[in-house]
A = this chain, B = another copy of it.
Amino acid sequence: MTARFDVLAIGNAIVDVLAHADDRFLEENGIRKGAMTLIDEAGAAALYDKMPPGVEVSGGSAANTAVGVASLGGKAAYIGKVRDDVLGSVFVHDIRAAGVAFDMEPAKEGPTTARCLILVTPDAQRSMNTYLGACVGLTPADIDAGLVTAAEVTYLEGYLYDPPDAKKAFHKAASIAKAAGRKVALTLSDPFCVDRYRTEFQELVADHVDILFANEAEIKSLYRTQTFEGAMTIVRDKCELAVLTRSEKGSLIVNAAGTHKIAARTLGPVVDTTGAGDLYAAGFLFGLTNRRDLRTCGELGSLAAAEIISHFGPRPETPLRQLMARDAF
């Protein structure tokens, strides 16, 4: 059956609050540089009080990927949970206005829409502090089987393992996709997220995942290897396709047939790396679902990531299809 969507992304629906900060601010507030740390509502309020002036932008890892696919001209859909509050309406507006199919009703009660307090240091690294809020309300009932079946790839974020019912929703979606002969893609999300769910993620990758996205720290954490090469050797046998990103060192596309090495790109100075991995995945999956060869998929990933790190925030400022056309992809 022809898919109605190239990619269905499922994840924690979050609004980001981004601010510039120096390394001392991270140290003084016990923030793990480059990582995603979960905080509760009181912790979020306390950190926000201390943060410099900020900018609010819709975020959420898989949501950023869905928006990236749409920005490239692909057909994307999204599942994630917000509350019927101001930040929830911002999230819903932004993802729909970006051209992503998103039809879920916001929750009418319970915790507020999730927010992620992001400190961007002068080296363009982002350190994230997430209050999951309404995301804990995502349950298997929110997984529309028709939508999963209608998507060529169902893309899941590892972060979904943090809210317990969302993890069940994750598994339901993966099962439906498999049963329908669709592909399941997973991003490992964050090395500390891998620490929290290592055994489960190993089983997932071996048994359910067709396409795995991971950065260097995540894949080494998954297989507890000292070297990147060691992890790459292991993952090659575990799933159909592994896409391993290494920041400025580029990315590697790994499958049984071999390895493609793709260069990283920039479009001017690197301002903020928030969303780099999410947009790389968007470019790659857009390429894959539009029948491009693996090298081109990787190059589209590099291009989409290059746009996102050239400015503040994890959503494209320039329509990615414009950049793709300019570069004659």
Interface residues of A (CB under 8 A from B): 19-20, 48-49, 51-58, 67, 85-87, 90, 93-95, 97-98, 112, 311-313, 315, 317
Contacts and interface: CB of A to CB of B under 8 A. Distances in A.
Contacts of A85: 86
A49 B87 contact: no
B98 A53 contact: yes
15 contacts: A19-B97, A20-B317, A48-B93, A51-B93, A52-B98, A53-B58, A53-B93, A53-B97, A54-B97, A55-B57, A55-B313, A56-B57, A86-B87, A86-B112, A312-B317
A93 B56 contact: no
A311 B98 CA distance: 21
A94 B20 CA distance: 12
For the complex of A and B, 5 pairs with smallest distance between CB atoms = A56-B56, A53-B94, A86-B86, A53-B97, A53-B98
Q: Which among A49, A53, A97, A315 has the highest number of chain B CB atoms within 10 Å?
A: A53
A87 B54 CA distance: 12
Nearest to A58: B53
A26 B234 CA distance: 55
A252 B134 CA distance: 53
A52 B312 CA distance: 17
A112 B86 CA distance: 10
Contacts of A95: 53
A67 to B, nearest CB: 7
Contacts of A51: 93, 97
Q: Which of A19, A56, A94, A95 has the most CB of B within 10 A?
A: A56
A112 to B, nearest CB: 8
Given A85-B86, A86-B87, A94 B317 contact: no
Contact of A54 (B19, B20, B67, B94): B94
A313 B58 CA distance: 16
B55 A56 contact: yes
Contacts of A53: 58, 67, 93-95, 97-98, 315
Nearest to A113: B86
Contacts of A20: 317
Contact of A97 (B52, B58, B97): B52
A54 B112 CA distance: 20
A87 B112 CA distance: 14
A289 B98 CA distance: 46
Given A52-B97, A55-B55, A56-B90, 4 more contacts: A51-B97, A53-B67, A55-B57, A312-B312
A58 B315 CA distance: 19
A213 B282 CA distance: 47
